[in-house]
């Protein structure tokens, strides 16, 4: 009998965050695997509508959006479970659905994707119970896997690290020149050193570390007078006010550019514009943005206190530092800007990143899990 796979997501296409990107890649990969194996696949999204679908990722007949209609979403997910083989929950908030599905069809393989902060904290009873009933827990980083054991006593035999992958529809550059249209837009010299951060700037999430980068720029500008720090990402009004006050406080108004949202179509060009990507965060489950930067040949500087280290392969691809050590941050940025990567070095970085984090590698690893060709026992799939 053909395998039947159901993927449940909160959002897949109507937002552009890391979890949504992961859901798109997983959906696209599962559809590919299902097609070549003649399996059946369906992706259900709670918050998306059918009109949000990006058809390059999933065929319309394999996707359904519920526009926040929770009761209908739950009912139809459980109805499909009656004849299902694998149910994949992309968030622990689907705990009740997972438990009911296991009750309805005990033989159904129940998988959970564990990202980051949503499982790095004490869990309510139903979520703890879900962990006991899951057949596999796919952790996006070794850090998250360790947290699952430390905080929740998750069974090691259920745990596997499956790092997130680069979106297969992301444009991968074949040259590394700084885009002229962005140099013009931001009034930059082609020779000015550019440090780049792309993240959500939210007043409720003060753990990304860009305030430390702003502080570091105030000293780095003495060594690099033309240095520019491009801080990009959607921000709320309160955080914009806070960030602009920090820029004024550190007297870096001429050095820091707060751009706001960057369209996905221009993401690669922004990576090409920069000489270094910096995000010394403390609560990244993995950090897809790091591997996206590396796939564009851009060196990465991240924090060492979360899942970011997986994205730089524990130092093989990029550098990880103590996120609150501003002096170490300054030194690492200065060292990178003093010795910028050559074209051949950027190409080598790009190829290494694609080797580890391409969707092709992700599909191979995911298919091994689905086909039960490997024993999952606290194993690092990309190791």
Kindly report the CATH number assigned to the domain that includes residue 153.
3.40.50.2000
Q: What does the alpha-carbon distance between residue 7 and residue 29 come to, in Å, rounded to a whole number?
A: 11
Residue 45 has pLDDT above 90, yes or no: yes
Same domain, 21 and 43: yes
pLDDT band at 2 (very low <50, low <70, confident <90, very high): low
List CB contacts of 312: < 8 A, sequence separation 6 or more.
290, 294, 300, 302, 318, 319, 320
173 in any annotated domain: no
If asked whether residues 370 and 335 sit together in one domain, one would say no
Read off the DSSP letter of residue 201.
B
Q: How does 166-180 read in b/e, with b if 16+ C-beta sit within 10 Å?
A: bbbebeebeebebbe
**140 & 188 share domain:** no
Whether the predicted pLDDT of 380 surpasses 80: no
Residue 376: predicted pLDDT: 35
What is the chain's mean pLDDT, rounded? 94
Number of structural domains found in the chain: 2
222 with 102, same domain? no
What are the tens digits of pLDDT across the range 120-162?
Answer: 999 999 999 999 999 999 999 999 999 999 999 999 999 999 9
Give the bridge partners for 229, in sequence order.
Answer: 195, 256
One domain, residues 118 and 200: no
| pLDDT given for residue 337 in this prediction | 98
98 within domain boundaries: yes
CA atoms within 13 A on the CB side of 370: 26
For tokens 């859901």, what's the residue?
A: 23
- 295 and 209 co-located in one domain: yes
Instruction: Tell me if residue 273 falls in helix, strand or coil.
Output: helix
Indicate if 348 and 375 belong to the same structural domain: no
Residue 174: inside a domain? no
Instruction: Report pLDDT digits (tens) over 187-245.
Output: 999 999 999 999 999 988 888 999 999 999 999 999 999 999 999 999 999 999 999 99
172 belongs to a structural domain: no
Identify the domain containing residue 131 by its residue range: 4-167+358-380
Q: Does the pLDDT value for residue 1 go beyond 60?
A: no
Q: Mark whether 105 and 157 lie in a shared domain.
A: yes
- Distance from the first to the final alpha carbon of the chain: 33
């Amino acid at each position: 009998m053909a395998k039947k796979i159901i993927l449940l997501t909160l959002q897949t296409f109507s937002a552009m965050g890391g979890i949504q990107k992961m859901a798109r890649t997983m959906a696209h990969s599962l559809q590919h695997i299902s097609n070549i194996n003649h399996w059946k696949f369906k992706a259900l999204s709670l918050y998306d509508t059918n009109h949000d679908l990006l058809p390059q990722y999933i065929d319309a007949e394999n996707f359904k959006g519920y526009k926040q209609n929770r009761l209908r979403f739950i009912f139809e997910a459980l109805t499909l479970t009656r004849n299902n083989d694998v149910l994949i929950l992309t968030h622990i908030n689907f705990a009740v659905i997972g438990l009911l599905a296991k009750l309805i069809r005990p033989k159904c393989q129940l998988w959970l994707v564990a990202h980051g902060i949503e499982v790095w904290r004490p869990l309510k009873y139903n979520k703890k119970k879900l962990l006991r009933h899951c057949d596999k827990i796919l952790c996006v980083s070794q850090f998250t896997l360790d947290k699952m054991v430390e905080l929740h006593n998750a069974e090691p035999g259920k745990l596997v690290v499956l790092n997130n992958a680069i979106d297969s529809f992301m444009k991968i550059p074949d040259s590394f020149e700084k885009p002229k249209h962005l140099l013009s837009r931001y009034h930059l010299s082609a020779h000015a050193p550019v440090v780049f951060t792309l993240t959500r700037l939210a007043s409720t999430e003060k753990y990304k570390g860009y305030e430390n980068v702003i502080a570091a720029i105030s000293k780095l500008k003495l060594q690099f007078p033309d240095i520019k720090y491009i801080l990009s990402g959607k921000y709320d009004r309160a955080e914009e006010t806070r960030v602009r006050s920090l820029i004024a406080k550190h007297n870096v108004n001429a050095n820091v550019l707060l751009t706001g949202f960057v369209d996905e179509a221009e993401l690669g060009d922004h990576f090409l514009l920069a000489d270094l990507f910096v995000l010394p965060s403390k609560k990244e489950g993995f950090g897809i943005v790091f591997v996206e930067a590396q796939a564009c040949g851009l060196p990465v500087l991240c924090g060492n206190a979360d899942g970011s280290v997986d994205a730089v392969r524990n130092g093989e691809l990029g550098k990880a530092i103590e996120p609150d050590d501003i002096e170490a941050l300054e030194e690492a940025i200065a060292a990178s800007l003093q010795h910028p990567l050559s074209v051949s070095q950027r190409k080598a970085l790009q190829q290494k990143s694609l080797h580890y984090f391409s969707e092709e590698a992700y599909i191979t690893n995911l298919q091994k899990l689905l086909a039960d060709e490997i024993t999952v026992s606290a194993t690092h799939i990309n190791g």
